[in-house]
Structure 1
Amino acid sequence: MLTPTEQLNNQFFDYIIAGGGTAGLTLAARLTEDPSVNVLVLEAGQANIDDPQLLRPGIYGSHFGNASFTWDHKTIKQKHVNDRESGWSRGKGLGGSSGINFLCYTKPPARDIDDFERLGNPGWNWKNLEQYFNRAEGFVEPTEEYKKRTGVKTETWNVGREGPLKVSFPVSISEAEMRIQQAFANQGIPAAKQPIGGDPKGICFLPNTYDPKTHVRSYSTNAYYLPNKDRPNFKVAVGAHVNRVLTENTRDGSWSAVGVEFTDVASGKTQTVNAKKEVILSAGALKTPQLLELSGFGRIDVLDKIDVPVKVELSGVGENVQDHIFLGLSWELKEDAPFDTLDLLRDPAIAAKHLELHAQGSGLHTIGIVGFSWNSFDMFAPPGKQAEVYQKMEDALGKIDDTAHPGLRKSFEIAMQRFEPGKPGSPGCEFISFPGFLSGPNPPEAGKRYATILVAMNHGFSRGTVHATSSDPLKDPEMDAHYFEQDFDLDIHVEMVKFARKVANTSPMKEMLVAELNPGLEVQTDAQWAEWLKQTFSTTWHTAGSAAMLPRAQNGVVDASLKVYGTSNLRVVDLSVVPLHFASHPQATVYAIAEKAADIIKAAA
């Protein structure tokens, strides 16, 4: 039921959504529940429906570099990490990044969401947003036998069970995963009280976006689009690259979005479609700011350089960019370690066997990334290091230029409360057990199996930028993460990787291991840890904040109704609106933002 792009030129729709990813499809499905409303979704990639390369769970990261499934974005050279570039791949095609992510289903601490409201966004708190998480979720309760075997306890979880997005535990959790969790427990990390109910601090097993009946990925395409594709008021066009929003000045001086211009990727022709009610940008944190700038909304100096007339000066567009980063420590496993790992898939014959097993609902493609430890910095860092890092935060706060960066001081003050010595912190220090090899720089050896602890820092203070450098919409904007510009971000991550090694040297994990492959025991001092970290860390592909929901005077781009300042009917609904990043993989929060946005838009109609 896809709509050919050539049928769209000069057509009218109530709502036009730029981007058919996680947020865009969710929003469109909810808006079209009203049969009197017609919605058009424009997606630059292809449909990729029923493609096993997307649906098969156990092929993490295999999509990167494949132009059929990903946009191969890159940052500029990062001066604080030895001039490394960082690949910022994003999902391309219907479903966006929900079609290529690692299927982890996690939700933020309640306090991190409450920080949205504390930054000036009434109604954006955990209590309010939790209903929207639940609306999306179709959690499938594990069997009693499964719970007994794995120790998973889900009876008290506040999680949605009737939503369209299938969320479940994989077929099995290995004994080795349980040993790793116990090693964290033996280092003093408690069990999480409400792993996906606002209090994830501690160790827990978490579910995946995985359909236990079909054993395939659940994502926005098969959750929100395919069940609703036959609605006559729900139109989706692929191969339609949105170039800019078309606007008109209104009597009250604001700008009204009247449509969008897009390029038909196949023919190269430029077309326009018209919006009777609203235009919504759901192109993600890397492309939404570019669309705003190409449409005349942004910093004057940026717009002047690309020769785009200024419609509304919004100095926050493309600023406030925040990312999560991670890297892995890997250990070779003993031959008798009870761990089926993804390393086996490097053998073509074994990989073929597991494709057959997947069709039967078993094998390596039915395991998942499930073991987590969500820690605040105070749970593992020595008191002296905590005090040192906090002092650096205070020093950074004192250096903020309020004229150049309005609103940054308040953001830092709230972020610092997550690290305040002597008080319970927010669990932004994430440790994940990965069933296989995922680390560097040393490569894996054929025929061997590995266990990896992924170490992810989710509460970084460095702020990056995303800005257009050309009026050509097909040219990527300049993406600058500013990684480790605040040097205490590196200090925090160094303490995290040191703790991961400590856990691996703890029973009952240590009894499974032969040797540490990465980084290797030659890395011992803080300086050595820092150098290895700078050489091997990666983005977690969770970039946020580039069109922040903040008061306009604090460099905000959208208000609490997600409406772009200076406009009457242009909204942003994606991860770019997040004002201060949270400790979680973001897909659940993106679904919740889109669900809430649908209610906001319906109420305004």
Structure 2
Amino acid sequence: MSAKLEDVADKSFDYVIIGGGTAGLVVAARLSEDPSVTVCVLEAGGANLDDPEILTPSLSRGHFGREQYSWNFTTTKQKMCSDKAFPWARGRGLGGSSAMNFLVWTKPPADEIDDWERLGNPGWNWKNYQKYVHKAERFAEPAAELKAKYKMPLYEGDVGREGALAVSYPRTISDLDRCLIETINNAGIPTAPRPYGGDPNGVYWTINTMDQATATRSYASTAYYLPHRTRPNLTVLPHALGTRLLSAPDAAGLLRAHAVEFLFGASATRHTVRVRREALLAAGALQSPQLLELSGIGAPAVLARARVPLRLALPGVGANLQEHVYGAFSWELKPAHAALPGLYALAHPASRAHHAALYAAPPAARGGAYTMGLTNFAFAPLARVAGRARAREIHACAQAHVGALAAAGQLDDGLRAQYAIQLKRLDPDARAPGPVCEVVGVSGVGALRVAPGTAYVSVSWAANSLLSRGTVHITSDDPRQPPELDPHYFEHDADLDVVLETAKFARSLAQHAPLRDMVARELLPGPDVAGDAALAEFIKRSYSTTWHTCGTCAMLPLSAGGVVDAALRVHGAANVRVVDLSVAPLHFSAHAQATVYAIAEQAADIIKGVFVP
């Protein structure tokens, strides 16, 4: 049930979950399946239920920067990017980032999930990943005419059909989407063999978290909260900012949480809720480490600077931050293609009103650009976008940098093992180099101004296995102060090299048919940006986070800098676990949403004691 303050303050629950986002709601729903167990969820944001700005798929781009929907974090000034600070939004409110993301549903390569197990985490492998992500997935086939026209695969056996979360192709598909897939093929990237079955190496028709029946966003609230909101043993309190765990050592010398402190409402009154069994952190990769540090769990030097008493020394908290980076290029299309449907139609007031009217139809009849999504993604190894010779040069540069860090004693066991894996992913001569480069075709233009009656296209690019490692740490004992976020962008030279080659490949797509014959002119970055040096500077000014942050409460052995063990229990704590993407020890070549659901589903079984590695 959606609770009032008096339902929670000074009450006791078996499980208290801090964070009602993607992972938190999954874990809450699964734990509360047992009617003898009581579960409380504290969510700092509002409920935001039945909100058309969340439910309308193509409105997702409007949530960023708005406090009702997002935490508006900012990085420190990045020394490799002319001291520019970058915004990092995170989902705020029930459903978390699943309520504001771009609805993308992709899965990593099987080998990259198996790497988690190789890093010392039994049971965290591709076989279990598929088992648990299938518990989330409920795939609905596209309409017969779309399936016939575009020959969209149904991914039989690789995508679940009976899970909690509706996933499907968008209801409206454009010929431009097919054109982009053909262009990527013609540029040398083949069709992915099994993009949802462990081999996404190539381009493919991509599923979205969209409910085919209503053409609305499917997210953690609609899938895991609303169907269970009347359970008497499930209590969800919005506007409750978890601030710290109250704990003491137990007889075995382990730290045991006995309560969670939180601030409630606009007045930020301070309250506590008691923990009978476990405290579960699901606040995401930026705020779960913040909560641990505010609770006195973290690196002693960090806590001392913030004037937080040390309760458990755990240096890995807030370290090992990993992120993807992305950018985009845009083109105007020739007048002959002006009638192609696309997301760009929503950038002009007149056409936006037309498509709003199409979406205002009864759910089964909704159509237009508001029912579109991102439907073509390509993942490729570095050699495929840069050429084998250039890929070897970049790999050698990365090896040299990692070797220098090792020689200087700057690598712990965990980072040394991670880098060994990442170097294999970059190596063009490896048996199976990782698809660390990504391009995405988009029938939109971002924030660019558009002219009525004109069509546009963009290609996004991303790099998915960066060597740079960042940090997120508190600087104050005030939980309302945002943590200091430093991703250390491009502090490995090879990172910028990979990004540059991926961006050059994305830009070159306009030279391949059929897109080549459709383009009128390049808008972004524009013809004045010529040559590698100019493009690199453009990238450093304009790139963005992909909002896929992980690694800050890494699931690794304590000796390797880990924060949680393979049961997601905080090292040195008896009853504190982290159940969100912050536990991922090493990043992966996919957008993060499906993986968050998989982690949370597996976490729930671990907590319930029914997980079998």
TM-score scaled by structure 1?
A: 0.97
Task: Tell me, yes or no, if structure 1 residue 531 matches structure 2 residue 537.
Answer: yes
**Are the counterparts in 2 of residues 20 and 282 from structure 1 also a CA contact under 8 Å?**
yes
Q: Find the counterpart in structure 1 of residue 7 from structure 2.
A: 7
| In 1: Cα distance, 2:6 partner to 2:54 partner | 28
Q: Find the counterpart in structure 2 of residue 497 from structure 1.
A: 503
Matched residue of 2:180: which SS? helix
How far the C-alpha of 1:265 sits from its partner, in A, is: 2.2
Q: Find the counterpart in structure 1 of residue 347 from structure 2.
A: 346
Q: Find the counterpart in structure 1 of residue 60 from structure 2.
A: 60
Task: Tell me, yes or no, if structure 1 residue 266 matches structure 2 residue 233.
Answer: no
Q: Find the counterpart in structure 2 of residue 162 from structure 1.
A: 162
Q: Find the counterpart in structure 1 of residue 139 from structure 2.
A: 139
What do residues 123-167 of structure 1 show as CA deviations (whole Å, max 9, x unaligned)?
111012110000000111224432221121215341111111000
Q: Find the counterpart in structure 1 of residue 602 from structure 2.
A: 596
Task: Tell me, yes or no, if structure 1 residue 359 matches structure 2 residue 360.
Answer: yes
How far the C-alpha of 1:446 sits from its partner, in A, is: 5.7
| In 2: Cα distance, 1:25 partner to 1:451 partner | 36
| In 1: Cα distance, 2:111 partner to 2:17 partner | 31
Q: Find the counterpart in structure 2 of residue 298 from structure 1.
A: 298
**Are the counterparts in 1 of residues 174 and 342 from structure 2 also a CA contact under 8 Å?**
no
| In 2: Cα distance, 1:501 partner to 1:590 partner | 31
What do residues 172-199 of structure 1 show as CA deviations (whole Å, max 9, x unaligned)?
3211211111111112211111111111
Q: CA RMSD in A?
A: 1.5
- Point out the more displaced range, 233-242 or 180-189: 180-189
Decide whether aligned partners of structure 1 residues 536 and 445 sit closer, same or farther in structure 2, where only a CA change above 3 A counts. Answer: farther
Give the alignment partner of residue 422 of structure 1, picking from 396, 413, 429: 429
Q: Which runs of 5+ in 2 are unaligned?
A: none
| In 2: Cα distance, 1:272 partner to 1:164 partner | 32
| In 2: Cα distance, 1:476 partner to 1:404 partner | 28
Matched residue of 2:57: which SS? coil
Task: Tell me, yes or no, if structure 1 residue 584 matches structure 2 residue 590.
Answer: yes
Task: Tell me, yes or no, if structure 1 residue 16 matches structure 2 residue 16.
Answer: yes
Q: Find the counterpart in structure 2 of residue 37 from structure 1.
A: 37
What do residues 9-60 of structure 1 show as CA deviations (whole Å, max 9, x unaligned)?
2100000000000000000000000000010000000000001011111123
Counterpart code for 1:64 = F
Q: Find the counterpart in structure 2 of residue 568 from structure 1.
A: 574
Decide whether aligned partners of structure 1 residues 444 and 157 sit closer, same or farther in structure 2, where only a CA change above 3 A counts. Answer: farther
Give the alignment partner of residue 389 of structure 1, picking from 391, 394, 404: 394
Counterpart code for 2:546 = T
**Are the counterparts in 1 of residues 155 and 196 from structure 2 also a CA contact under 8 Å?**
no
What do residues 498-543 of structure 1 show as CA deviations (whole Å, max 9, x unaligned)?
1112221111111111011111223231111101110111111111
| In 1: Cα distance, 2:610 partner to 2:270 partner | 31
Q: Find the counterpart in structure 2 of residue 313 from structure 1.
A: 313
- Point out the more displaced range, 346-355 or 284-293: 346-355
Matched residue of 1:230: which SS? coil
Matched residue of 2:248: which SS? strand
How far the C-alpha of 1:406 sits from its partner, in A, is: 4.1
List aligned pairs for 1:88-103, cutoff 5 A: 88-103=88-103
Counterpart code for 2:26 = T
**Are the counterparts in 2 of residues 437 and 449 from structure 1 also a CA contact under 8 Å?**
no
Q: Find the counterpart in structure 1 of residue 191 from structure 2.
A: 191
Q: Find the counterpart in structure 1 of residue 377 from structure 2.
A: 372
List aligned pairs for 1:63-462, cutoff 5 A: 63-337=63-337, 339-360=340-361, 361-400=366-405, 401-402=408-409, 405-423=412-430, 424-438=432-446, 444-445=450-451, 448-462=454-468
**Are the counterparts in 2 of residues 5 and 238 from structure 1 also a CA contact under 8 Å?**
no
**Are the counterparts in 1 of residues 172 and 367 from structure 2 also a CA contact under 8 Å?**
no
What do residues 103-141 of structure 1 show as CA deviations (whole Å, max 9, x unaligned)?
011111111101101111111110121100000001112
Counterpart code for 2:423 = M
Aligned residues: 603
Counterpart code for 1:106 = T
Decide whether aligned partners of structure 1 residues 118 and 251 sit closer, same or farther in structure 2, where only a CA change above 3 A counts. Answer: same
| In 2: Cα distance, 1:397 partner to 1:470 partner | 33
How far the C-alpha of 1:405 sits from its partner, in A, is: 3.8
| In 2: Cα distance, 1:402 partner to 1:293 partner | 26
- Point out the more displaced range, 254-263 or 523-532: 523-532
Matched residue of 2:247: which SS? strand
**Are the counterparts in 2 of residues 27 and 597 from structure 1 also a CA contact under 8 Å?**
yes
Matched residue of 1:15: which SS? strand
**Are the counterparts in 2 of residues 43 and 239 from structure 1 also a CA contact under 8 Å?**
yes
Q: Which runs of 5+ in 1 are unaligned?
A: none
| In 1: Cα distance, 2:87 partner to 2:410 partner | 32
Matched residue of 1:462: which SS? coil
| In 1: Cα distance, 2:345 partner to 2:410 partner | 55
| In 2: Cα distance, 1:425 partner to 1:5 partner | 52
Counterpart code for 1:396 = H
| In 1: Cα distance, 2:313 partner to 2:13 partner | 28
| In 2: Cα distance, 1:120 partner to 1:521 partner | 49
How far the C-alpha of 1:493 sits from its partner, in A, is: 0.9
How far the C-alpha of 1:278 sits from its partner, in A, is: 0.2
| In 2: Cα distance, 1:132 partner to 1:393 partner | 34
Matched residue of 2:356: which SS? helix
| In 2: Cα distance, 1:221 partner to 1:541 partner | 19
| In 2: Cα distance, 1:445 partner to 1:466 partner | 42
**Are the counterparts in 1 of residues 18 and 43 from structure 2 also a CA contact under 8 Å?**
yes
After the TM superposition, which parts of structure 1 deviate over 6 Å for at least 4 consecutive aligned residues?
Answer: none
**Are the counterparts in 2 of residues 157 and 194 from structure 1 also a CA contact under 8 Å?**
no
What do residues 328-371 of structure 1 show as CA deviations (whole Å, max 9, x unaligned)?
01000112225212222233232222122113211111111101
Give the alignment partner of residue 514 of structure 2, picking from 497, 504, 508: 508
| In 1: Cα distance, 2:506 partner to 2:483 partner | 36
**Are the counterparts in 1 of residues 289 and 472 from structure 2 also a CA contact under 8 Å?**
yes
| In 2: Cα distance, 1:336 partner to 1:58 partner | 25
| In 2: Cα distance, 1:26 partner to 1:473 partner | 25
| In 1: Cα distance, 2:501 partner to 2:410 partner | 34
Matched residue of 1:421: which SS? coil
What do residues 195-216 of structure 1 show as CA deviations (whole Å, max 9, x unaligned)?
1111111110111100011111
Give the alignment partner of residue 485 of structure 1, picking from 482, 491, 503: 491
TM-score scaled by structure 2?
A: 0.96
| In 2: Cα distance, 1:519 partner to 1:60 partner | 24
- Point out the more displaced range, 56-65 or 218-227: 56-65
How far the C-alpha of 1:471 sits from its partner, in A, is: 0.2
Decide whether aligned partners of structure 1 residues 122 and 197 sit closer, same or farther in structure 2, where only a CA change above 3 A counts. Answer: same
What do residues 446-468 of structure 1 show as CA deviations (whole Å, max 9, x unaligned)?
65331000001111111000000
- Point out the more displaced range, 12-21 or 171-180: 171-180
How far the C-alpha of 1:310 sits from its partner, in A, is: 1.3
| In 2: Cα distance, 1:365 partner to 1:309 partner | 50
What do residues 312-338 of structure 1 show as CA deviations (whole Å, max 9, x unaligned)?
111110000011111001000112225
| In 2: Cα distance, 1:404 partner to 1:456 partner | 26
Percent of matched pairs sharing the same residue: 46
How far the C-alpha of 1:267 sits from its partner, in A, is: 3.1
Matched residue of 2:563: which SS? coil
| In 1: Cα distance, 2:450 partner to 2:318 partner | 39
| In 2: Cα distance, 1:604 partner to 1:503 partner | 49
Q: Find the counterpart in structure 1 of residue 560 from structure 2.
A: 554
Matched residue of 1:391: which SS? helix
